[in-house]
Structure 1
């Protein structure tokens, strides 16, 4: 897959006048609201984009579960953690993954940052995650393999491959999707790219990437293309703002 467009847009953005701290904070705050809404909605949260924004401002939405409010707060905290650690070029480790998950699963103290201890299945998927006793060794192997993948592939392909494997292992009892998408953005930011927002409205396309991966010899090309399209969208938006 050719990532020339991504590389060219990224280089162009880096060559332009950098956004000042106020502009950057505003854009990241706007992104965080949309990303929190979309990532939670993919997992079944019923809060709308507007309601998500209000919860992040401290407003309680009547007749909506406390759990959904906590999912918004947890995702916000996890996103801020991801941005700060990625900006500091912190290396992705199992410890970092568990800390991200601990923030995501703010409403479940017993299972925060803990690999699952029971078998699970993924609704609607043909792939079955490994038994719980295999999770630690498969996660350890994934971290080692990922370092090799990054040496051989473009960062877009690398993060796509990691995301597909991570979700296939399904290491936690809950919060795997949200955690996995935050890890994806963690690695994009570390690589000097922008975080991407996988949209709830395009969740079918996103789910199909996993089916393609597990039924076509573990090829990550469909998710790579999806991530690349979202990355190009974000880069073009930033460039357009600076050109104005």
Structure 2
């Protein structure tokens, strides 16, 4: 439905130039969304796919294991959309020992994303509400070090920003002037808490993501936080027991369409076109996540069976292997600390795993060696190739 502009333009001056900054109307859309039979079916399919995703984690021996890996995969993908080139392996190496040989700025940025997500999850589990305060806290962690750390971490912006172009005067889109940001975010927070919201959680997440991106409340990090907001809404509202639905790969694969639809919402009021795209993405992404979880479970079972079949002293090797299921890149020291096994015992078990082609050593060194569960990494890294 074409409702026309979903906001109004404020004529203002920045740097000696006259610009038109866009101030969105508070949610929900007016007139209400058209929920025809086809769109209702998309919503049902997406909701069912989320249910399957929520239940498949119960098949895993430790759901947090999948969350650990999947969050890091998402961090790489979401940061890639912003132009970073870090790989999943580089992130894991960085977390292991502050990244020898990895491009530091990029890896720090991705590591910050993981820390921001972890912080938000911890706060939600403590009973803290999904709110502007939590969003600001996560932003402070996201920009705590490296690129962007000078751009007011944890604070709504006090200066004008823009999207595309070299300055506000030639920008593709200019968000609200700084004086409007707090009021716009307050209205969004009310919507997140259910005020005047007649729609189910999935639709709420779809609408809130666009509104957040339109407000662009921070000087940096808006895209990454806007994508995280989707997962946090679904988790906070109980649609997912773990925040395992991340749309960055879908947005990355359909980047031009994603930005086109955000523009169409603002200029034409066609929320339905965006919603159809979003719901298709949720179904597709949830199905892929389920498939990934099943593939990882199958891999773990096959390799465990192989270890039991070929190793007479399989109990020690299995203990080391299970650490690799939790952390696919490790050092002997870390495994020794995690298992309580002696360094020589861990070293022998790791040689067994190398002989079984379960792991490989990735430094080529005789000392301070690092080992990777390569097939696990390969599954997780699908789609994370740099743009």
| TM-score normalised over the length of structure 1 | 0.84
**76-85 vs 155-164, which moves further:** 76-85
**Structure 1, unaligned stretches of length 5 or more?**
none
1:98 counterpart = 2:126: no
Q: Are the aligned partners of 2:79 and 2:224 in contact in 1 as well (CA < 8 Å)? A: yes
User: How has the CA–CA distance of structure 1 residues 43 and 113 changed in structure 2, closer, same or farther, with 3 Å as cutoff?
Assistant: same
1:31 counterpart = 2:70: yes
Aligned to 2:10: none
Q: Are the aligned partners of 1:160 and 1:227 in contact in 2 as well (CA < 8 Å)? A: no
Q: Considering only aligned residues, what root-mean-square deviation do their CA atoms show, in Å?
A: 2.9
The alignment partner of 2:48 has SS state of helix
Quote how far apart the aligned CAs of 1:166 are: 0.5
Q: Are the aligned partners of 1:129 and 1:168 in contact in 2 as well (CA < 8 Å)? A: yes
**Structure 2, unaligned stretches of length 5 or more?**
1-38, 166-170, 302-387
How many residue pairs align between the two structures? 242
Quote how far apart the aligned CAs of 1:145 are: 2.9
Aligned to 1:154: 200
Quote how far apart the aligned CAs of 1:36 are: 0.8
Aligned to 2:352: none
User: Matches of residues 147-186 of structure 1 in structure 2 within 5 Å?
Assistant: 147-148=193-194, 151-186=197-232
Which 4+ runs in 1 deviate beyond 6 A?
Answer: 239-244
The alignment partner of 1:18 has SS state of helix
User: How has the CA–CA distance of structure 1 residues 195 and 99 changed in structure 2, closer, same or farther, with 3 Å as cutoff?
Assistant: same
User: How has the CA–CA distance of structure 1 residues 169 and 159 changed in structure 2, closer, same or farther, with 3 Å as cutoff?
Assistant: same
User: How has the CA–CA distance of structure 1 residues 232 and 158 changed in structure 2, closer, same or farther, with 3 Å as cutoff?
Assistant: farther
**97-106 vs 7-16, which moves further:** 7-16
Give the number of the structure whose residues are more often strand, by fraction.
2
Which of 183, 204, 207 pairs up with 1:137? 183
**180-189 vs 230-239, which moves further:** 230-239
Aligned to 2:99: 60
Deviations 1:152-174 (A, max 9, x none): 21222111110111111110000
**Whole-angstrom distance in 2 between the partners of 1:45 and 1:92:** 28
Give the number of the structure whose residues are more often helix, by fraction.
1
**229-238 vs 105-114, which moves further:** 229-238
Specify the structure having the higher radius of gyration (Cα). Answer: 2
**Whole-angstrom distance in 1 between the partners of 2:100 and 2:268:** 44
